[in-house]
Amino acid sequence: MVMVGVAHAQLPVNFRLSHAVVDTNASYMLDTSSTAGLASNSVVDIQAGGDSLVFFGTSRGLSLTPDLGTTFRSYIASVVDLPSGSISAMNVSNSIVIAAGLADSVIAGTAQLIGTGLAYSQDLGDTWTFLDVPQEPEDSPATVSILWGGNTIDMLPITTIVNNITWDLAYSLGTLWAASWSSGLRRYPITAAGNNWLVVPMPRDDDDIFSCDSIPDGYIINPRNPNDSSDPGNHNHKGFSVIAYDTLVWVGTAAGINKGIVDSTTGCIKWTHYTAQNSNISGNWVVALHRQVWTGGERIWAATVHAEGAGEIQGLSYTDDAGESWKTALLGIRVHNISSFGENVYAATEEGLYKSADGLNWARFLSAVDAETGERVYADKTTGILYDGRDSTLWMGTADGLARTSDEGATWAIERAFVSTRGQGSEDRFYAYPNPFSPATDNILDGSGYVRFQYHIEADEVGKRAAIEIFDFAMDPVAELAYRTHGAQGDYSQAWDATNSAGFEVANGVYYCRLKIGSTGYWTKVVVIN
């Protein structure tokens, strides 16, 4: 295992059959409803389903591999009724697949995030049902009432898609659960006649417990407008993470962790509310939840961020006794997602990918480099994570592509979305991305940012020296990347960290770049913005 650190354990052996059968008639395999490859290099969530499916939530929509990584396809959202824009949340449970979307928008001259809806599939992504963003009618009164366990509860209606983002999804016992910033926690019974999004009351910020049998005086559901500082609202009514199984639902909010026991007859939920102040969790803003199950054990994990309380810190919190007591790990590290297999747990963090066999001792993986092409993932930050026990593969999603390993990081395979220059004319044989390029924010690895140059080696160019030279606006030489000699036809890339030949960061401006393959040159340009 190639990692930095100590205390790791051998993973269970592969128990999967030797090959996967792919349904070539499924909608996601047809050109009319999908395209080849990943939708985007930014992969924020990864989920497994069926015998050989793996789904990827990306910044440009939903992608999948139908055959455990041999091929990749991306849905065309407008054709299959998926939400447009980025995938903000995703969940796969048995044959149920759920996805939510978000997009950038400009409203009244201000940039805003908006929810673009949700969709669910009951046949592992072959067909989809679209759902609008959970919200109340625009003409709702200032306060509306709902029935909850025979009680009438007041709530502030959510009548906008602005900041109404679903950040996590879950499924259990015929019910979809959506944790959203503005609209709070909602559930959708997909098997019920006249089904609709149902509001779920939760404890207020200062409530340790909440149930249908004891509604506090003055209780109101108020997830508050995130931009309205005059309305204190309740942070615990703003949902960011959720997991559900059997009759249990765990919800992470901006004010702690909530364990709910669902009454299967009435649908009422008995809540227990855990915070940094009453239960020793690391922080009250809970951005991810995960249930780890292994022989003889069960553990609930929470990725937390410092909210507003004293003594809070970002990191991981976990409980082995259903919330009776909590421990912490990876304190000071921003965790985005969690996955597990057996006793091993994996954390996708701002600093990279971590693994632990006991929750106490953690090891960090080295950055991923493709064993065949030498391609590197230029990203410290890891956002998506999945350990797939079907074929003992660890998947890692970043802002610079998708990586997977079957030998604990000794070797990696990297999948990346790009436009091939194969067969193009001389003006299109060579390009840079991202472009414009900011070394301070784009593809950050070990403190440096990188821009990638993409090109294709044709059959008659195999074995020829390929070198990339960079010039400033006056056509003075700035830097030259180490040349390569490629042994096979195909698509390749090289990266530049925006430094000159002396190792100093270059100034803002336009830079002209030449790819020389043998004696033939191809040109492109890149704009650097520091």
| Residue range 61-77: mean pLDDT, rounded | 96
Instruction: Among 274, 297, 328, give the residue marking a domain's end.
Output: 274
What per-residue confidence (pLDDT) applies to 428? 81
What per-residue confidence (pLDDT) applies to 6? 30
Could you report the per-residue pLDDT of 484-500, keeping only the tens digit for each?
A: 898 899 889 999 999 99
Please choose, from the candidates 466, 468, 460, the residue with its C-alpha nearest in 3D space to the C-alpha of residue 514.
468
Average pLDDT taken over every residue of the chain:
91
Host domain of residue 393: 1-80+366-417
Kindly report the CATH number assigned to the domain that includes residue 473: 2.60.40.4070
Q: Is the pLDDT of residue 3 over 90?
A: no
**Same domain for 243 and 122?**
yes
Please choose, from the candidates 167, 163, 147, 164, the residue with its C-alpha nearest in 3D space to the C-alpha of residue 155.
147
Could you report the per-residue pLDDT of 156-213, keeping only the tens digit for each?
A: 999 989 889 999 999 999 999 999 989 999 999 998 767 889 999 999 999 999 998 8
**Same domain for 30 and 167?**
no
**Same domain for 466 and 489?**
yes
Count other C-beta atoms under 10 Å from residue 308's C-beta.
12
Q: Is the pLDDT of residue 20 over 90?
A: no
Q: Is the pLDDT of residue 230 over 70?
A: no
Tell me, yes or no, whether 290 lies in a domain: no
What per-residue confidence (pLDDT) applies to 213? 87
What per-residue confidence (pLDDT) applies to 18? 42
What per-residue confidence (pLDDT) applies to 307? 79
Tell me, yes or no, whether 153 lies in a domain: yes
What per-residue confidence (pLDDT) applies to 22? 78
Tell me, yes or no, whether 38 lies in a domain: yes
What is the percent of the chain where pLDDT is above 90?
A: 77
**Same domain for 16 and 129?**
no
CA distances from 416 to 41, 240, 413, 491 (A): 6, 28, 10, 11
Tell me, yes or no, whether 254 lies in a domain: yes
**Same domain for 154 and 225?**
yes
Tell me, yes or no, whether 289 lies in a domain: no
Cα three-residue angle 346-393-38, rounded to 5 degrees: 95
DSSP 41-83: S-EEEEEEETTTEEEEEETTEEEEETTTTS--EEE-HHHHTPP
Count of structural domains within the chain: 3
d(CA 394, CA 409): 9
Tell me, yes or no, whether 312 lies in a domain: no
> 173: Cβ–Cβ under 8 A, 6 or more apart, which residues?
246, 247, 264
What per-residue confidence (pLDDT) applies to 264? 87
Tell me, yes or no, whether 460 lies in a domain: yes
d(CA 49, CA 47): 7
What per-residue confidence (pLDDT) applies to 420? 84
What per-residue confidence (pLDDT) applies to 354? 98
Cis, bond preceding 436 (omega within 30 deg of 0)? yes
